[in-house]
Amino acid sequence: MNRLLKNKFFPVGLVTFTVTTAYLAFGFYRVLWPYQEWFKPVSMIYALSLLVFTALVGLSNLYSVTAFILARRRKKSVSQWVAVGPAISFTILLGFAMAPLMPKFLPSGSYLKPFNSETWIHDNATMMMGGITERQKMLGDVIENILPGKTRNEIIRLLGLSSDDSNQKALLYYLGPARGDFFGLEVEWLIIELDAGGHYQNFSLFRED
């Protein structure tokens, strides 16, 4: 351990890992809390910064590889800054590896209203009002209290017809413009998975352009 702490690459790698983790964690928070009006400008800046971050990842890794090769060829010591690229890449890969182990969160705003069948089926249910749709506001109650134990026919009676009638193993419902997408290009869907007996089994949220 002492040897690792004395390594000249360790401080740079640790600081880079910490900063990158904080940056990605803020992005996770942004997805969970996009409906808050006061938070939108900050979230927009973060969304735009992803382009800069992506460029930084590429350039830092290019620098790390180039500097390492040149140092070896010239038989000089390798700069401690070559740790930046690998540290960023390691942080990103670790985030992807940990993602399946994290609890399944619903986007923020999903618990604003109790479920009401008439409101859910209404034509205006998927229109954005105050930054979020009526269906998105009721989603938490639907997932936790309405779907469990229900059959396919019971779900359809409460939520209306599925957007994809051809799929017997799942029901598909449009929720509205995707939360957290400030470019307005993505939409949000609720997928309700059914077991072999036609009962509710699981759910997932799907975003598409």
Tokens for 70, please give them. Answer: 């040149």
What pLDDT sits at residue 34? Answer: 61
Q: Find how far residue 9's CA is from the centre of its chain.
A: 31
What pLDDT sits at residue 108? Answer: 78
At position 159, the amino acid (one-letter code) is: L
How far is the C-alpha of 24 from the C-alpha of 57, rounded, in Å? 13
How far is the C-alpha of 175 from the C-alpha of 190, rounded, in Å? 7
How far is the C-alpha of 188 from the C-alpha of 190, rounded, in Å? 7
State the pTM of this model. Answer: 0.65
Going from N- to C-terminal start, the domains of the chain cover 2-101, 117-208
Helices (H), the chain: 2-6, 9-32, 40-73, 84-98, 117-121, 134-141, 152-159
On the 0-12 / 13-18 / 19+ scale of CB atoms within 10 A, 145 is: exposed
User: How does pLDDT run across 134-173, given as a tens digit for each residue?
Assistant: 999 999 999 999 999 999 999 999 999 998 877 778 999 9
pLDDT mean values, one per 10 residues, the chain (209 residues)? 71 94 86 66 82 94 92 86 94 90 80 94 88 91 95 96 85 89 79 94 88
At position 113, the amino acid (one-letter code) is: K
What pLDDT sits at residue 13? Answer: 92
Q: Which residue has the tokens 């790390």?
A: 64
On the 0-12 / 13-18 / 19+ scale of CB atoms within 10 A, 138 is: buried
What pLDDT sits at residue 2? Answer: 61
